[in-house]
Structure 1
Amino acid sequence: MPKYMLIMRNSRSEQSFEEMDFDAVITAMGKFNEAMIEAGVLLAGEGLSDAAQGAVVEFTGEAPIVTDGPYGEAHELFNGFWTIQAATKEEAVEWAKRAPLTKGNRIEVRRVTDESDFAGHEDNEYLQKEQGWRADEEARRLAQ
């Protein structure tokens, strides 16, 4: 079953973070996450710290250039994500529409690439290594 990433973007929300009831935000997100867990679609999800605490590594010249945050326009920033397993893009979109976000925010829905995206390149050394890495990670996870 395909995986989709739901990328939460803060597009100059009409209500600033400081004005929100943070406990209510945590509860709403928790309920949304719980619904996805109960439906068996949630694989991962995390919030991200403020962009001012991050950096961008830009590859525009001979050497990469590092810029400390904040960076980019508000509509370009994302502040969290979920990785879900859904049968179709439409199903992933339906989950995104249920997210408890305020007016001015948006969620970008993107399919995570899988082996079908690399058809014809199965003999690539690093695609073969990646299969081994994934198997090793799964074995470590199961051993815990």
Structure 2
Amino acid sequence: MRVMVLVKATEDSEKGFLPTAEAMAAMEEMGKFNDELRKAGILLTADGLTPSSKGKRVAFDGRGRTVLDGPFTETKELVAGFWLWDVKDMDEAVAWVKRCPNPMPGPSEIEIRPLYEMADWQRDSEA
């Protein structure tokens, strides 16, 4: 099963990456965790995202499109980074996230969401 593992943004992550000694040590620790994921054959891809101030949103309303410039105000609803993993089940994904170093300097949250697979669509159409 493939899952998207989402690192939720915080006020700190929205300020952008500052190459302090503490931040560099945290990045090194996360790099080691990513190496463990690779060795276990779980990691498909991973990356961090720049602050929302550098992003845009496109709002859809029928045929209309509106472009909105960042930053976006609801920090707790933003994503600061992600992994795409291939795990046997949700329990395995949770076990790996519990081993993960804290991705932020303070309190943080990681969300795990299964991806739709072709079999999910086929089951739904047969029902």
Match of 2:112 in 1: 109
Match of 1:119 among 114, 119, 122: 122
- The within-5 A match list for 1:1-144 is 2-12=1-11, 18=18, 21-60=22-61, 62-101=63-102, 102=104, 103-119=106-122, 121=125
Q: Over the residues paired in the alignment, what is the CA RMSD in angstroms?
A: 2.1
Does the 8 A contact of 1:8 with 1:108 survive in 2?
yes
The alpha-carbon deviation at position 74 of structure 1 amounts to 0.9
More strand by proportion, 1 or 2? 2
Structure 1: which 5+ residue stretches go unaligned?
Answer: 123-144
Identity within the alignment, %:
34
Q: Structure 1 length as normaliser, TM-score? A: 0.73
- What code does the residue aligned with 1:7 have? L
- The residue type equivalent to 2:118 in the other structure is E
TM-score normalised to structure 2 length: 0.82
Residue-pair matches, total: 119
1:12/1:105 contact within 8 Å kept: no
Question: Any idea what the Cα deviations from partners look like across 1:99-123, whole Å, max 9, x if unmatched?
Answer: 212432111100011011111659x
Highest Rg: 1 or 2? 1
